[in-house]
Amino acid sequence: MSENAFPTTKTKASENFERSDWSSAYSNVDKEFSNFELKAAKGAIPKDLFGTLYRNGPGRLERNGQWVHHPFDGDGMITSLRFEEGKANLTNRFVRTKAWQEEEKAGKFIYRGVFGTQKAGGALSNAFDLRLKNIANTNVVLLGNELLALWEAASPYSLDPRSLDTHGISNLNGVLNPGEAFSAHPRFDPGHNNQSRMVTFGVNTGPKSTIRLMEFSTQGDDAGVLISNRKDTFNGFAFLHDFAITPNWAVFLQNAIDFNPLPFIFGQKGAAQCLSSSKNNKGRFLLIPRDSGCYALEPPRIFEAPDGFVFHHLNAWEENSEVVIESIFYNDFPSIQPNENFLEINFDEIPEGILKKCRINLLNKNVTTEVLSNQCCEFAMVNPRMLGMKARYSWMATAQKEHGNGPLQNIKKFDLFNSQKHIWSAAPRGFVSEPIMVPTSSSNEDDGWVLTVVWNGERLASDLVILNANDLSEQAILELPLAIPHGLHGSWVEG
């Protein structure tokens, strides 16, 4: 990488990190490993930790000297960390999408990015090129025998769960039409209605938006079989990244968003840059009945949502006549405009994510909102066995400081009942990714481990950190032979 790859920026007085440490994570992944044995640089790998951590995120951020305009436009790279009897092995592969292969051969970007990356030649070259580049970079989950690399605007890519070799686009045994959108944020029902399921959705957006809600078996020989399927159409443009589930409901928050496609059509902006918070509309909670629940076949129920923008939800559950949902709210839709450099983000000028709880009364349609924590957070989860139920504990990535925005440097265990917390910090030179809580067989909700990939600004490489889920005490640090850019989502597969 050239000396000028990262612009020189001074750290603001309010920041307790060096900008160069944070930005140094953004580089191309230049190696692929197969079953590389990892040793604990500190501590010991728990011998009861048995399974595979899969991670997805952008791994190709530059071609022929041109950088993506936003990391979310980077090509997907999967990392697999397999644990067994106190040992760990690493495998990583780029998802060999059609576009990745074409651009590797060409040695340059030949597709536009949704978040603003342009082909060479300016607006004239990009105008009227409305193709979507499936970058398969957002999440990775196992469904049946298929490991699925997900990007929510297109169909998933199927990979081999062990080698990570790319098989190609999957239509899930005929469930999906060619190019049909498939969410990058499925939810795994632990068995609320006597059967564990993967619940997910796809959205067809426009002046009216249609949500296709799908549920797949995750059990035995039927794993991967579609067992529930419904479509519902709503007024307005729907930007939906995540949702929540309860035994009876799939809960969506339709953000109040306007979409002006003209700058995208004329080659001036990426499609996501054409989104903006609506001044004339309110967000809405959309409660779609699940076919396995008590309200199957009934129409959806719609409720006005509080102001703000939501990417991610923590959890939801049912309590008497209420549906309760915990979500991370931003004051506004965060976006990187064409004249902005993502490496020069001023964290003080962009909205932070705040954890809030909304109670939706099904009888009188009242919605009340409560702030659970004012600390900037993202990537929150509960024990997966508590998904859709009232959970006491959550684990999330947070900023180092208590108030205001900042890069994610802490892992926090948060008691949703009394606000008590435990903190593990990677600061000042470390930056955390999404924590994955792996439960033990214990009946205690917070027994298990928390796994997170950490960018080590001192080592200029990534570490895998294993924490005790109960008190976030450090169990082991594994120094990876990879420099993995700040990533997105991942999953844990037992066995």
Partnered with residue 113 across adjacent β-strands are none
- For residue 383, give the 3-state DSSP assignment: coil
What span, in angstroms and rounded, lies between the C-alpha atoms of 205 and 48?
45
What span, in angstroms and rounded, lies between the C-alpha atoms of 68 and 133?
13
Confirm or deny that 69 is annotated as ligand binding.
no
Q: Nearest-CA neighbor of 290 among 321, 327, 245?
A: 245
Confirm or deny that 167 is annotated as ligand binding.
no
Alpha-carbon torsion, ordered 94, 96, 97, 100, to 10 deg:
70
The number of residues in the chain equals 495
E strands present in 238-348:
244-245, 249-254, 257-259, 275-277, 284-289, 301-304, 309-319, 322-330
Please count the other Cβ atoms lying within 10 Å of the Cβ belonging to residue 230: 17
What span, in angstroms and rounded, lies between the C-alpha atoms of 425 and 409?
6
- For residue 384, give the 3-state DSSP assignment: helix
Residues 6+ apart with CB under 8 A from 376: 352, 353, 354, 398, 399, 401, 403, 404, 405, 406
Confirm or deny that 313 is annotated as ligand binding.
no
What span, in angstroms and rounded, lies between the C-alpha atoms of 465 and 449?
10
Please count the other Cβ atoms lying within 10 Å of the Cβ belonging to residue 221: 8
Question: Which amino acid type is present at position 395?
Answer: W
Q: How far is CA 104 from CA 29, 94, 155, in A?
A: 13, 11, 21
- 466 and 436 Cβ atoms separated by less than 8 Å: no
The owner of tokens 């809030």 is: 356
- 492 and 451 Cβ atoms separated by less than 8 Å: yes
What span, in angstroms and rounded, lies between the C-alpha atoms of 83 and 44?
12
What span, in angstroms and rounded, lies between the C-alpha atoms of 129 and 483?
33
Please count the other Cβ atoms lying within 10 Å of the Cβ belonging to residue 35: 11
* Residue ranges of the binding site: 185, 241, 312, 489
Q: Would you list which residues are annotated within the binding site for Fe cation?
A: 185, 241, 312, 489
